[in-house]
Amino acid sequence: MGILRTLFRASPTPTSDGAFSPSPLAIKLGTSATTDYDGGAYTRPYTGSQNRVLMICTEERNMTMANGKKFSTGNHPVEMGLPMLHLMNAGFEIDVVTPTGAPVAIEDWAMPAEDAAVKQLYRDYADAFANPRSLADFVAKDMDGAVSYAAVYIPGGHGAMLGLPENADLGKVLHWANEQDLFTLALCHGPAALLAAKTQEGFLYDGYKMTVFPDSVDKQTPVIGYLPGPMPWWVCEKLTALGAQIINTKADASCHVDRRLITGASPKAANAFGRLAAETLLKNGR
């Protein structure tokens, strides 16, 4: 197996902090130098007072796998970037937060190096990603009086599984968004963070239909060296156990709206998810 991994360049790549990023084979198969971003044109951008989107990102870098090895992750640049572009072009402003205000962790190895729009976005938001606001401060100081928000957005990347699913502040924000009739947006592994909305009274999204990155695909990716070992837990399994209904079986471009929850299945859904989110916010804007 080791010889085959070497031959096909399928061994995960060690990082300077003792973790592993995907193998050259996995990078070739699972990422692209460009995206399918459609340009994000909107005839009538939003001009009302609820023009802000609270984007909740992970600040944690390394995921400890079931075999003890660490995966170098964070927020996926395409899954975060394309929806941002759509929302911004539709007239919405993005507020970047992490649990404590530490820098946003980004999967740099997945950056589409030849996509001008995405690269420019990351240059424009470099300071916001390096110096995000604290989610804890938002909850403690501003949440109850915040009236300018249209949505809460949780971008994808395996990093959404780190620190967010058990974050009490995130749980409060998700319930607040639901009570205020705001939309909640979550892409790929982003729905893992919805687990924070579980309380003693139950799970906020019990009975909701959603599209999520399939556990079946996560179980296959160690074979090509995308992950350095089996996942520590399975996103769809946990969501399903709490009553969520996962309606996709493939890591495809499928998206879904259930009440005020908008979800997308994978990086392939990033453009369609971004457009669906933007158009839905525009349609329901106040």
Flag whether pLDDT at 4 surpasses 60.
no
How much is the pLDDT for 230?
A: 97
20 close to 62: Cβ distance less than 8 angstroms:
no
161 close to 195: Cβ distance less than 8 angstroms:
no
State the pTM of this model.
0.96
How much is the pLDDT for 10?
A: 87
- 215 sits in which H/E element: helix 215-220
Query: 237-274 pLDDT, tens per residue?
Result: 999 999 999 999 999 999 999 999 999 999 999 999 99
Residues in a beta bridge with 263: 186, 256
Per cent of the chain over pLDDT 90 is 95
CATH number at residue 82: 3.40.50.880
How much is the pLDDT for 6?
A: 55
Classified as helix, coil or strand, 274 is: helix
Residues in a beta bridge with 96: 55
Rounded to an integer, the average pLDDT of 61-79 is 98
* Torsional class of 39: left (φ above 0), alpha (ψ -120 to 50), beta (otherwise): left
Residue 49 pLDDT level (bands cut at 50, 70, 90)? very high
Query: 9-40 pLDDT, tens per residue?
Result: 789 999 999 999 999 999 999 999 999 999 99
Q: Is 188 a catalytic residue?
A: yes
Per cent of the chain over pLDDT 70 is 97
Classified as helix, coil or strand, 182 is: coil
Rounded to an integer, the average pLDDT of 60-70 is 98
Give residues with Cβ within 8 angstroms of 230, minimum separation 6: 65, 66, 67, 219, 222
Return the closest-CA partner of residue 41 out of 279, 218, 261: 279
Q: Count up the domains in the chain and report the number.
A: 1
> Which residue range(s) make up the domain with 129?
2-283
How much is the pLDDT for 150?
A: 98
Rounded to an integer, the average pLDDT of 171-180 is 98
How much is the pLDDT for 1?
A: 44
Residue 285 pLDDT level (bands cut at 50, 70, 90)? confident
Q: At which residue do the structure tokens 């003890």 appear?
A: 68
Flag whether pLDDT at 128 surpasses 90.
yes
Q: Which of 57, 188, 236, 255 is catalytic?
A: 188
